[in-house]
Chains A and B, each alone.
Chain A
Amino acid sequence: MQQTTSSHLDQTFLALADPTRRAILARLALGEASVTELGEPFAMSQPAVSKHLKILARAGLVTVGQDAQRRPRRLVGRPLAEASAWLEQYRAIWEASYTRLDGLLAELQRRPERKPRRRRGCQ
Chain B
Amino acid sequence: MPMTMEKARVTLPSDREVQVTRSFRAPRALVYRTYSEPDLVRRWLLGPPGWSMPVCEMDVRVGGRYTWRWRSNDGSEFGFTGIFREVEPASRVVHTQAYDPGTLGGGCPADDAIVTVLFTEEGAATTVTTLIDFGSKEARDAALSTGMTDGMEQSYQLLDRLIEGIQR
Contact = CB atoms under 8 A, between A and B. Distances in A.
Interface string B141-160: 10011011100000010011
Interface residues of A, number: 38
Contacts of B12: 13, 87
A85 interface: yes
By CB atoms of chain B within 10 A, which of A6, A91, A93, A106 has the most? A93
Contact count band on B: 35 or more
B59 A121 contact: yes
Interface string A94-123: 111111111111101100000011011111
Interface of A: 1, 3, 6, 9-10, 13, 17, 85-106, 108-109, 116-117, 119-123
Interface residues of B: mostly helix, strand, loop or mixed?
mixed
B36 interface: yes
B145 A86 contact: yes
Contacts of A6: 141, 145, 148-149
Interface in B108-156: 137, 141, 144-145, 147-149, 156
Contact of A109 (B2, B26, B56, B163): B26
Contacts of B43: 100, 104
Given A101-B24, A121-B65, A88 B40 contact: no
A96 B3 contact: no
Contacts of A99: 4
Nearest to B32: A116
A119 B145 contact: no
17 contacts: A1-B145, A13-B12, A86-B144, A90-B144, A91-B8, A95-B7, A96-B49, A98-B7, A105-B26, A105-B34, A106-B3, A108-B33, A117-B37, A121-B59, A121-B60, A121-B65, A122-B38
A17 B57 contact: no
A122 B156 contact: no
Contact of B44 (A97, A116, A117, A121): A97
Nearest to A18: B15
Contacts of B48: 92-93, 96
Contact of A116 (B33, B45, B156): B33
A85 B163 contact: yes
